[in-house]
Structure 1
């Protein structure tokens, strides 16, 4: 957040994270990871593209309506603007938007973000993280999600000015629709095993990043080279992640 908004007060974001952690406690994803990891990943994607704090908070809470969270709780704890965004994300009809629509004006500055653009950013981030972890979804559902993503969501992302998000959505979907040879599955399993060298709290993040990068590499040779580089760097990365963070004196 501070990379795009240096003066941001993260109190509201911390409160939203606390609410997400509370109401998603005990829930898991198909991968077996805590459901909260998905909420944080979606919020991180939204933050990375420069969205303001209210949008990041709504990203953290975008699935809270699937929990026992009481009606009105989000508005009370995080504010009515966030609560409205969460509600709109649930009910948005992305089929009503088309690339080239004035409502997706990519030139509009973040400071004058429309509600529709904010909702779209969260929906795209949600799908992007789901596509990064689609290996854990039943094969039949994988194809349907990938087809919708490459036909509808990737073009919408590009139309909204989120070119990097759109490209990754396209590449991940193409990897599902046009699977590469068995060697891809082998390298994917190798990367998953390498994450066991990392601290447990970091494994999900690095597995997702490595597999997402692997999915967009075009040839068996480039995928093998990438896996070999990860293999060589994993021990040093593990030591770095386990090293205590030295805080500057106040």
Structure 2
């Protein structure tokens, strides 16, 4: 039995969407990073609003300063939230769209024959897998889907629907091989073999963006000190 889109793991459906024309597309990693920064900008913005309210209650002259800061941070957040990136599978091609709104302009395009989706391990979390989209031998984007079988199921679904090659970089790591299916139309799971003394290669993680939280904390502290000194 062939897997339907609605039967995919929720993590797969979170990253794989359909546009109004019925074409499947993957949400790009940059879009997620932009949205993370957009949400982070809301933290000092909220603090600025609180400080503006406190200044209003104390009848000092700092209220307008904090309102301006809040307005700037809100504008930054809205701009980041509107940034989009997607990789669309249509007409035997993979198109990279990036820009603003729901219909960003096309930045690049490749034949689906020159692309593949590869299931690779997430070492930073010690579990789960990335689904990485490659074009002309280069990584374009990747998404954290779930465990091996859930990620492989999504890769095989894309292979069936758009004709892209699906590869497995987990089972025989560090070797890459075609992704296999069982007789039950499910991806075959084999515990990854480890080479003695070797480690999986880690090529970065979106979790490194957590460094921004100390920055926002410092910014909030500076605003508080500035208000206290002026008072």
Give the TM-score taking structure 2 as reference length: 0.27
More helix by share: 1
Higher strand share: 2
Point out which structure has higher relative CO (alpha carbons under 8 A, 6+ apart).
2
